[in-house]
Structure 1
Amino acid sequence: MKKTLSLITLLAAGTTQAAGFQVNTQSARSSGMANAAAAWLDDSSAIYSNAANILGVEKLDVTAGVTGILPSLQFTPTGGSVQGQKTTLSPPPHVFAVYKITDSLAAGVGFYTPFGASSRWKDDFVGRFRAQESGLSIYNINPTVAYQVHDRFRVGAGLNITRGTLEIKRALGFVTSEGQVHLGGAGWGLGFNAGVQAVVVPKLVTLGVQYRSPISMTFKGDADFRDVPPAFQGRLPDTRVEGDVKLPQSVVAGIAVTPLDRLTLAFDANWVGWSSFPELAIEFPDNPAINNPLPKNWRSTWNFHLGGEYGITDALQVRAGVLWDPAPSPDETLTPDLPDANRFGVSAGVGYSFGAVRVDAAYQFVNLFDKDSTAPGMTGVYNGTAQVFGLTLGYSM
């Protein structure tokens, strides 16, 4: 049987500002516009949003920042009371640098977190035998090049060198007591991204498209069983865990319109191939009797982003946006180990330049609408909110 240690296992009640476990806040400038960036964003953070757009830098551009994601997720079991989480703040970082070698050629590298989540259910959580605490971090090193094919057409591509780490804790129920299992692991993966930008009407309309490939990763780690009664210790020794996972591919298409010299309006449609997660499973090679794969049957989804940026002065810009991001999980497989909900978000941001140095800040409020679960044994409703705080510093010359 193929080993399938699913990274979504680590979502175990985790949530980010995006559906599933995607993190797309790699630039406070973009976040202020609800992440509508594929057709226009032209600083070094374009390594993430559209590789072709790095040709927009003057000579050298460096950006670095952090995003604080503060989720608040709740589960109300059928006929029961609301179950909540402990406060957890996730701070994924982002660093990008681009150098324009010639007028037609630019190269750069980015370091950021495209996927991740962190959560802690309260100690008496009714679903603690499926999820207690979790942490998932996917780090991407993304060397990128871009070339100006024509005055109105750019292309870009990058290599994605991916490192993933995971940790999970769940309760174990015995006849008269409870124990715990702690799992941890890590792995590497390799993928690519490619993008194009086209100027449809000079100084008025641009289009951008970027593709990110799926990334296959093999995870290896250990399972530590705690507070196991003597009668069960022979069946639950500390052991290895390992398996394969495929991070989803995605395609984003965007359009940007500049009706006024200082006003940019942008819209992105983003397809994410969540169907690459048919089940949630961990394989124990030395103790296969405790393998327990669960079907998930996630669906690929589209999410949508609309934003605008207005330059009050040459140095000061303000931004705003809205987004819609539906959950990939069907109701019949939605459980506390992988909770989710349809999301609607609003964002605002501001940027200010001090000569060669600039500062961008952003805030997003994301509402997680009620989502019913009909999963056997854990029926109920999931909902909540997420607040996202972004800060990025930039330098250009």
Structure 2
Amino acid sequence: MNQNHNMFPYKILPLAVTLVLGGFSGAAAAAGFALIEQSVSGMGNAFAGGAAAVDDASVQFFNPAAITELKGTQFSVAAHSVRPSAKLTDASARETTLGNIPYTTPGAAEDGGVNAVVPNLYFVSDINPQTKFGLGISVPFGLSTDYSNDWIGRYHGIKSSVETININPVLAFKLNDQLSLGGGISAQYISAELTSAIDSGAICYAQVLRLGGNPAVSCAPAGLTPGNNATDSYAKIKGEDWGYGFNLGLLYKPMDGTRIGVAYRSSVKQSIEGDATFTRSAAFNAFLTGAGSTLFTNTSDSADLDLPATLSVSAAHALSTQLELMGDITWTQWNKFKELRVKYGNAAQPDSVTTENWRNTLRYSAGLSYKLDDRMKLRGGVAYDQTPVPDDEHRTVRLPDNNRTWFSLGMTYAASNQLSFDVGYAHLFLKDSHINNTTEASVAQNLQGTYKNNIDLLSAQLNYMF
């Protein structure tokens, strides 16, 4: 029986790796398109005290130094269900290049939120009594929104998908009973897909007017009028890359029952390359072919993206043998995200540019843990998360983000000395997100409205020590 019992982790580890490396969709739950859902025990406290926690192997994502407080060899595997809602209300759209033409049949406004599952896997083991090795496989960034092809904001975006996988080995050293240091390197894979509609009619009008012609004669008879969904064309941009970074941390215990953690995770530069696919409507294809134009033909694409650095300062203090208070402040360097610029291999195709001008953000959280008995620990927490989006003009349909407030609950249950489970739930209240965004192209469209957003998170985690 003991032999079979000890084989348990070796049987489940391959399944856990498959979960993390398999298909998933990312739905941003932290501000911007970061995913803070890296630990279920942490989520129960709204990630308060993240860099000072010592609950299980998942702490290494928030502070590699903290794994020196863990005993023996252990792993944690988790899945987080993210259920966002992003409903656009009071929407209006117009073409702005040809004299602010309103779309008389703009299509419906709708909810672009996409349900997703975010997985994590962490492993920790002893090298010697003072040194620990850890390995984390996680999803630190993700984004998924999806609208119908005929929705009112289709020229701003239809589908947006950003998925990452971060492989992060770490080492931690216990210098003495009070101070531990840790660090690691990250290999991070990113895959992105963006789609949008092309206003074939507005482009036809603009081209004909530029040449001194009459759009009513050259465009309208074929249905090529601004905002006509029946003659819309479509663009799909895809790409992927591997990038590299590092993380550092320290854990300091000034007195019994008190821990202070400081952790830094570096920026990761991604140089994404892939393919751009254009689907031209029959009428638009005939127009471009007749004009001898090579616009909107399939080609290669590339884009640079700097994923932000973070700095966290956390503290945890035991008020009694049962009750622990914790807090955290995390800074995120979003100001590197100045613009999203897609370059094309087709020299005739101009860059696609979206100015972002994001700003750095702070996240504040506080939480409590109460040890009910030797088997069960109850958790609760609140957090306030700032948005990096600077104003209504820079808010986009791909990420209609705003400031958010977290309310979290969680529980840890120890089934045995080796096996424990965590569950957590959080509801995120987002401020109404007003949008007044104009696309940056030779033929531009403006979209206005108000997003009603909220997010529900439900998570489960298994921890095993052997």
Shorter-chain TM band: over 0.9
* 2:408 aligned with 1:347: yes
SS at match of 2:60: helix
Separation in 1, partners of 2:309, 2:408: 26
Give aligned pairs, total: 383
2:22 aligned partner: none
Aligned pair in 2 of structure 1 residues 31, 15: CA closer, same or farther (>3 Å)? Answer: same
Separation in 2, partners of 1:277, 1:232: 34
Select between 327-336 and 27-36 the one with higher mean Cα deviation.
327-336
* 2:335 aligned with 1:275: yes
Select between 121-130 and 60-69 the one with higher mean Cα deviation.
121-130
1:178 aligned partner: 232
SS at match of 1:264: strand
Contact 2:27 2:116 in 1 (8 A): no
AA in 1 matched with 2:341: A
Aligned pair in 2 of structure 1 residues 102, 85: CA closer, same or farther (>3 Å)? Answer: same
Separation in 1, partners of 2:47, 2:348: 43
Separation in 1, partners of 2:152, 2:27: 18
1:4 aligned partner: none
1:214 aligned partner: 267
1:291 aligned partner: 351
SS at match of 1:109: strand
* 2:112 aligned with 1:112: no
CA positional deviation for 1:178? 0.7
CA positional deviation for 1:375? 3.5
Q: 1:18 aligns with which of 30, 36, 42?
A: 30
- Per-residue displacement from partner, 1:199-221 (whole Å, max 9, x unpaired)? 02212x21101001111111111
CA positional deviation for 1:173? 1.3
Contact 1:19 1:342 in 2 (8 A): yes
Aligned pair in 2 of structure 1 residues 83, 368: CA closer, same or farther (>3 Å)? Answer: farther
SS at match of 1:275: helix
SS at match of 1:169: strand
Separation in 1, partners of 2:309, 2:113: 31
SS at match of 1:29: helix
Aligned pair in 2 of structure 1 residues 302, 358: CA closer, same or farther (>3 Å)? Answer: same
Separation in 2, partners of 1:382, 1:341: 10
Select between 333-342 and 308-317 the one with higher mean Cα deviation.
333-342
Q: 1:68 aligns with which of 71, 76, 81?
A: 81
Contact 1:43 1:53 in 2 (8 A): no
Q: 1:40 aligns with which of 38, 49, 53?
A: 53
* 2:459 aligned with 1:390: yes
Separation in 2, partners of 1:190, 1:198: 28
1:266 aligned partner: 326
Separation in 1, partners of 2:343, 2:263: 34
Aligned pair in 2 of structure 1 residues 87, 212: CA closer, same or farther (>3 Å)? Answer: closer
Select between 40-49 and 249-258 the one with higher mean Cα deviation.
40-49
Q: Which has the larger radius of gyration?
A: 2
Query: How does 1:138-217 map onto structure 2 within 5 Å?
Result: 138-175=164-201, 176=224, 177-203=231-257, 205-217=258-270
Higher strand share: 1
AA in 2 matched with 1:76: T
2:125 aligned partner: 99
Query: How does 1:305-316 map onto structure 2 within 5 Å?
Result: 305-316=365-376
Q: 2:422 aligns with which of 334, 354, 360?
A: 360
Aligned pair in 2 of structure 1 residues 157, 276: CA closer, same or farther (>3 Å)? Answer: same
How does the TM-score come out when normalised to structure 2?
0.79
CA positional deviation for 1:86? 5.1
Separation in 1, partners of 2:436, 2:236: 28
Contact 2:423 2:459 in 1 (8 A): yes
- Per-residue displacement from partner, 1:96-125 (whole Å, max 9, x unpaired)? 000022221000111000000112124432
Over aligned residue pairs, what C-alpha RMSD do you find? Answer: 1.8
- Per-residue displacement from partner, 1:287-325 (whole Å, max 9, x unpaired)? 353313122110001011111111111111111111111
AA in 1 matched with 2:404: R
* 2:157 aligned with 1:131: yes
SS at match of 1:282: strand
Aligned pair in 2 of structure 1 residues 289, 105: CA closer, same or farther (>3 Å)? Answer: same
* 2:270 aligned with 1:232: no
CA positional deviation for 1:379? 3.1
Separation in 1, partners of 2:46, 2:306: 27
Separation in 1, partners of 2:169, 2:74: 15
1:9 aligned partner: none
AA in 2 matched with 1:135: S
CA positional deviation for 1:281? 1.6
Contact 1:71 1:88 in 2 (8 A): yes
Aligned pair in 2 of structure 1 residues 188, 288: CA closer, same or farther (>3 Å)? Answer: farther
CA positional deviation for 1:19? 0.7
Separation in 2, partners of 1:98, 1:390: 21
Separation in 2, partners of 1:84, 1:120: 10
Separation in 2, partners of 1:289, 1:223: 11
Separation in 1, partners of 2:146, 2:434: 21
Contact 2:91 2:152 in 1 (8 A): no
AA in 1 matched with 2:424: A
How does the TM-score come out when normalised to structure 1?
0.92
Separation in 2, partners of 1:15, 1:330: 21
Separation in 2, partners of 1:290, 1:312: 62
